[in-house]
Structures are given as structure tokens and as C-alpha cells.
Amino acid sequence: EAQVTQNPRYLITVTGKKLTVTCSQNMNHEYMSWYRQDPGLGLRQIYYSMNVEVTDKGDVPEGYKVSRKEKRNFPLILESPSPNQTSLYFCASSLFAGGSGSYEQYFGPGTRLTVT
Amino acid sequence: GEDVEQSLFLSVREGDSSVINCTYTDSSSTYLYWYKQEPGAGLQLLTYIFSNMDMKQDQRLTVLLNKKDKHLSLRIADTQTGDSAIYFCAESIDNQGGKLIFGQGTELSVKP
């Protein structure tokens, strides 16, 4: 089954304790992205990757790191989490739909992070 | 800058039509999307429209695009309780790869 998986789904942690949220897709997509969702703000892009070893900042990259060593995996790293990073995080991967040219993004189920 | 706006709530009766509206600011949008988010779930792509189209129909869904006014709408015919969810519109910007700019989401509540 084609899917984007994220782990963990729920995480409660304390300020300053490094954490990693994993993301994996099995669709051989080149484009992957991380978003955070906050009430009243919709989804905002944190980082994205166009291909292996190619990553770039989105709109809200501060406090986050990513890596893309393999095509299928795109982990999100919080080196020193703070309470303002409490949010719902989504990983997405994209299929460039050939002649139609649309980027049909597939989303993971989300990771709810609470930083106390 | 890029901005996408939606109203936050909409309530309809089962069987009625729902219309969810969205406005955007970037005239270089290439595609506009509608995503659905059910409680506790990720985002599911419902439909999309290319920026040179005015309308797209897909079963109960009708998307209307007014490029002059930068206005996008999603009409759901014969709305069912299973349509209750948050609906996000999003635009992709030319020459920015797969980046999507999302609206705040409209929470649709369908009452029996």
C-alpha cells in the first residue's frame, strides 16, 4: 500500500531534550516536506527536500533540522525543543503528475508533539 | 507576499449543498488544491484545478476559480454527515517546486 508513515504519532517531552520524528514513504517520490499545523494558522512548511542530499528551508525553519540521506526517509530533528514547538507535524511526499504537472502531495498521519 | 484566506467555520444541514470559499494573493499560482482533514487524520487530497481553468467537477465536488478576483470555491452537493471535516485550500507557486501555501482551514459541520 502506498503510504507515508511517521513515528512516533504522539510525543510528550521536556524543553531541551533532543528528539527526532521519522518520516518514510514507499512511493519513490523525490520531493518530501515537513509542515506544522497550528490552530488558526493552517499548515506552514518547515523544510523540504527536492531529492537526496538536497534540502532547503521553508517558511518556519527556526529550531529544526532535517536530513535526506536516502530517498525514502526524511527525518525531522529538534536539537533543543522549546514549548513554542508544541504542534501537530505532518510529513508529505509528492508525485509530479506527468502531463498534468500538478504536485499531488501525500500526507502522513501526523505527529502530535508536546514540549513542556 | 503569499497568503491564502478561508473562513473558519461552516455549518449546513444534511442534504444541503456546502460552499467553502478561499481567497489567495499570489497571481503566479499554478495549481490550487482542496484537501480534507478528518479528526485525528492526515490530509487527503480531494481535488485540484489548474490556474487556467474556471471550473472542475468531480462527482459531488465542484471547484470554481475566479482568477481575476483570486477566489476559489469548493461546492459539495448533497452534503452528508461523513463530509464533516476541516477543508484546506492550498496553492502551489510557480518555480517553487512542490511548496504549498495553505489557508487556515474551514471546519465544516453537517447536522442531521
Give per-residue pLDDT as tens, B2-11: 689 998 999 9
A4, A105, A106 member nearest B100 (Cβ)? A105
Contact yes or no for A21/A115 (Cβ under 8 A): no
Average pLDDT over residues A79-88: 97
Q: Would an 8 Å CB–CB cutoff place A63 in contact with chain B?
A: no
The pLDDT of residue B42 is 86
What gap in Å lies between CA A87 and CA A113, rounded to an integer?
A: 6
Residue A102 — pLDDT band, cuts 50, 70, 90?
low
Residue A99 — pLDDT band, cuts 50, 70, 90?
very low
The pLDDT of residue A94 is 84
Judged against a pLDDT cut of 50, whether residue A100 lies above it is answered with no
Interface probe with A: pick from B99, B101, B104, B106, most Cβ of A within 10 Å: B99
Average pLDDT over residues A63-75: 97
Residues from chain B contacting residue A110 (CB–CB below 8 Å): 40-42
What does the pLDDT look like over A8-66, one tens digit per residue? 999 999 999 999 999 999 999 988 999 999 988 889 999 999 889 989 999 899 999 99
* Half-sphere exposure of residue B79: CA atoms within 13 angstroms, side-chain side: 23
What does the pLDDT look like over B60-102, one tens digit per residue? 999 999 999 999 999 999 999 999 999 999 988 755 556 788 9
How buried is A68 (Cβ within 10 angstroms: 0-12 exposed, 13-18 middle, 19+ buried)?
Answer: buried
The pLDDT of residue B96 is 56
CA–CA distance from B48 to each of A57, A95, B67 (Å)? 25, 14, 14
Q: What letter represents residue A81's amino acid?
A: P
What gap in Å lies between CA B112 and CA B108, rounded to an integer?
A: 13
Residues from chain B contacting residue A43 (CB–CB below 8 Å): 43, 88, 90, 100, 102
What gap in Å lies between CA A5 and CA A9, rounded to an integer?
A: 9
